Structure 1
Amino acid sequence: MTGRVTGITPYPFATQPIEPNQRMEPDRIDARLLDLVQRNNRMSSEELGAKVGLSASGVQRRLKRLRSEGVIEADVSIVSPKAIGRNVTMLMLITFERTRADIVDRFKRAICRMPEVMSGFYVTGPADFVLLITANDMEDYEKFTRSLVRDNPDIERFETMVVLDRVKAGFTLPMASMARW
């Protein structure tokens, strides 16, 4: 599995995705564009151009290149969980009885198919995975845990922490040091 975000459909014209050990060195304009579009991807090419000193067509060419190279993986909208009735958010720590490649790979595939799992991380430390999960209510969460955890013989234990307040959410990466503005 590559280092790409799973669950977000990449651009169909992405021909040279960035590999996990490969690093893109953005120039000042690319870095400023990346900073702007990851905060608000609804800005027009004209607005972006005015902020970075390029024409609208120059902005479009750069964004197309950044998408085709896999630097921009997707353009998304962040939906308020509460606005759609997903009132409970939890962090779940999963620990396997034994950590084998086939077990890890099978679990990765399983969580990628589960819409309740907003983010999943294979981690070091006392747990093997950390999942960010959403549910309508505790009954919905209980059904989810039964299907994911209790029916899985490879899982030794799980621990759940209920989120009391979402203080910050997003995928924004710090770009200021690269943009030198």
Structure 2
Amino acid sequence: MLNLLIPRLQVATIYDIDLDGLAASGIRGIITDLDNTLVGARDPDATPELIDWLENVKRRGFQVVIVSNNNLARVQAFASPIRVPFIHSARKPTNAAFRKALQLMKLRAEEACVIGDQMMTDVLGGNRMGLFTILVTPISPQDEGFFTKAVNRRLERAALYWMRK
């Protein structure tokens, strides 16, 4: 079970991801979390840096889908202006939203990666589906919701402790 919490790659930010390396390994699609992965949890809009990164990703031939546990209003308000398809209320780490994202991109699991800031949702869900998982450092952990702080981050710390042993 603990192996399912280990990402294939860990980076500080999305900007540190080697896109050429992903493409060389056969990755053609990116499933990404929103809050604390692309922008801070309370940031309503994409930053100019993020918009440039997304344009670069698309120019390189990657497809992108945002998969978020957040509600429709939050995800739609963020994703629509930057024209990125999205799945809201995803219930990660369950498989349904990951499957739906793969269907939207018309890709198999081995052709996509998941980028997220949480081991208990993004990494666990992605690994269970056979996706290449990338864990980023949360952008603004002080703005995380109660459940993330009280439950997920505590479970992550416990898992990391046991993995180090």
- The alignment's TM-score, normalised by the length of structure 2, stands at 0.24
| Structure ID, larger Rg | 1
Structure with higher helix content: 2
